[in-house]
Structure 1
Amino acid sequence: VSARSHERDKVTALDQGADDYLTKPFGTGELLARVRTAIRHTRTASGNDEIAQKGTYSVGDLVIDYNKHQVLVRGGNVKLTLSEFRIVALLGKHAGKVLTYDYIIKELWGPRAGSGNQILRVNMANIRRKIERNPAEPEYLFTEVGVGYRLAEGE
């Protein structure tokens, strides 16, 4: 928000990283509309399309069924929350590759998500409890300490 209304001031601000520029005076309706737009841009609907592959991915006794939105381990359906499924689906899409904490967070929670990885760590701990026989000795979901996570490469 600025009292400067010259085009060059707006261009400079936007070129330096501003997502929007609102000049004073402004109405409440315009401010609220811009806030709604900013919130819409932080949602990851397009990220969902990228994550949601077709078909299945399998490694060992783990199967990710993208069409049914399910994860099966040893033939049983694992009850994952939406966030947990999205994490597993993203890791399955890039199986065998290490995905950094920041990459996973940005893909799943949007570009405005904080850089802290606590929410990701909590979700991964829950996923491991549900998927791994022994979470302390994982077969499928590996932590690359200080970097990120990796799902075992499929057959």
Structure 2
Amino acid sequence: MNKKILIVEDDVEISNMVKKYLTKEGFDVKTAFDGESALKVFSEDSFDIILLDLMLPKINGMDFMRVIREKSLIPILIMSAKDSDVDKALGLGLGADDYIAKPFSMIELLARIKATIRRATVYSKEKSKGDNDKIIIGDLEVDIDNFSVNKHGKKVELTFKEFEILKLFIKNPNRVFTKALIYNTIWQDNYYGDDNIINVHMRRLREKIEDNPSKPKYIKTLWGIGYKLGEV
């Protein structure tokens, strides 16, 4: 069965161009030109990935993501002309899986889409194995099988990427991870030195699991080297 893509883009020319290319590549593609209609399309069908522009009419891309993340872990790839750290931080912090700046090549977009879908598929298969793997570290209880984290008995809401990063450190307690290694492992893609993606995810993760994010105890920073699980 062909993978299904929802393109949420208000520029009709760009939307049609991307749809035409991806359809030729064997994808089943649907489009929406504003956030409101996109939510309607999403509620009526199932998709493997969402390609999302940030600057949308009616409901903007950020608010659209907030609604989607309340109900689904579907991969979201942001595509936006506003290639600023602010937009990246906001988008990725809300649970986007990747970011591509306009103008982009169709070959790069296709590679990003395939990599993102592949990661989500691998995670889904791992989760279905049901290894009932629960790990206690400090005040955190991490349930690998059920993709959940509790702190002091209360659930901590993590995005897919945040959970994968935390799991990476917990399962490798004595290992130091560079940003390149984290990116290669979690995103399963080559690292080109864009620290922003790692920085945003690490900051958001720490805000959720640390008592004091500015003085983290679970994930320690080794300046100039990378990160390591703290001795809690």
> Could you tell me the TM-score, scaled by structure 2's length?
0.46
Maintained 8 Å contact 1:87/1:104 = yes
Report the counterpart of residue 175 of structure 2 in structure 1: 97
In structure 2, what is the Cα distance between the partners aligned to 1:89 and 1:38? Answer: 23
In structure 1, what is the Cα distance between the partners aligned to 2:154 and 2:192? Answer: 35
Considering fraction of residues, name the structure with more strand.
2
% same residue = 31
What is the CA distance between 1:70 and its match in structure 2?
0.7
Which stretch of structure 1 is more off in the superposition, 53-62 or 137-146?
Answer: 53-62
Q: Which runs of 4+ in 1 moved over 6 A?
A: none
Corresponding residue to 2:114 among 36, 40, 47: 40
Q: CA 1:141–1:100 in 2, change beyond 3 Å: closer, same or farther?
A: same
Query: Tell me, what secondary structure is at the counterpart of 2:228?
Result: strand
Corresponding residue to 2:217 among 110, 130, 139: 139
Corresponding residue to 1:110 among 173, 176, 188: 188
* Number of aligned residues: 126
Q: CA 1:116–1:56 in 2, change beyond 3 Å: closer, same or farther?
A: same
Maintained 8 Å contact 2:180/2:191 = no
Higher relative contact order (CA 8 A, sep 6+): 1
What is the CA distance between 1:113 and its match in structure 2?
4.2
What is the CA distance between 1:144 and its match in structure 2?
1.0
Corresponding residue to 1:127 among 183, 205, 220: 205
What is the CA distance between 1:135 and its match in structure 2?
1.1
Deviations 1:23-60 (A, max 9, x none): xxxxx99x947x557853574358748x8694022211
Query: Tell me, what secondary structure is at the counterpart of 1:44?
Result: helix
| Unmatched tracts of structure 2, length 5 or more | 1-20, 27-106
